Amino acid sequence: MRSTTGEKIFYFCNALFLLLIGLSCVLPLVHVASLSLSDKHALASGSVGLWPVNFDLSAYKALINETPVLQAFRNSVVITVVGTLLNMFFTILAAYPLSKRYFIGRRVFSFLIIFTMLFSAGIIPMYLLLKSLGLLNSYGSLWFPGLVSVWNLMVLRSFFEAMPEELEEAARIDGCSEWRLIWSIILPLSLPAIAAISLFYAVGHWNAFMSVLIYISKSDLHNLSVLVQQMIMNQTLMQELANVQPDLAMSLTPEGVKAAGIIVMVIPMLIVYPFLQKYFVKGVMIGAVKG
């Protein structure tokens, strides 16, 4: 069916609006990348726009050689990978039984879980609890308080509930155990939801900032988010570089090193997202009206 003139105008305005929103998200990142790849004189003159001026990698060399960015990167990877695996393991274990109507106490447990989403103890009680458990200055203080996200749990439970009960009945007739049922049937069919929720968890762990500052005081355990924030706030960075490598510091500006740190922190998530995109698009449609 051919579109009317009014529909064509609407589609054009809609596409233009979405294009503007997309550019408002991409252009700042492109500008920061250009700052990190430009030389000192271009940054000082303010001539850097959306393309590097006088291409230079000195900012990345200084970032790698003179700052603990590699250690912070490893810390971020450990926090993200282990944290996401723990989150998904316990989220699946909680969502699966809650999706079964024959589970005794299903409504009570669901109410208690949702209640924690509406009311929380707060930062100070959580800090005192983690201190009493001896989890301060360890990554356990980042993993265990948010081990299961109530929202993600409800989404995954809804996905499990939508699966045909005939699959479970057929598997049980063939002698399939509960664990084999989850591993061989439920999880493969739930890849869209699992990929989308895993991405939410991973982004949260990768961008963890306030929790790291509150619960971890050892600098060698800090992640990239904290390191980049300290670089942005630290006004003596160039003085330290000048004391260590005077020749390198002469070709740098604080803006270039800070921009390089931001790019190093953002790039991993940009690399991971395309591999999960096909699952992510399906996963975020959970709960949508289907006709």
Q: Give pLDDT tens digits for 109-168.
A: 888 888 888 887 788 888 898 899 888 888 988 998 888 888 889 888 888 888 887 888
If one counts every other C-beta atom within 10 angstroms of the C-beta of residue 253, the result is: 20
Note the pLDDT tens digit of each residue in 225-281.
888 888 777 655 555 655 555 555 555 667 777 788 888 888 888 888 777 776 665
- Rounded distance, CA 189 to CA 163, Å? 9
Note the pLDDT tens digit of each residue in 71-121.
888 999 999 999 999 999 999 998 988 888 888 888 898 888 888 888 877
- Answer for the pair 146, 90: CB distance below 8 angstroms, yes or no: no
Which pLDDT score is estimated for 75?
A: 92
Question: Could you tell me which of 57, 65, 80, 64 has the C-alpha nearest to residue 198?
Answer: 80
- Rounded distance, CA 69 to CA 260, Å? 11
Q: What global pTM score does this model have?
A: 0.80
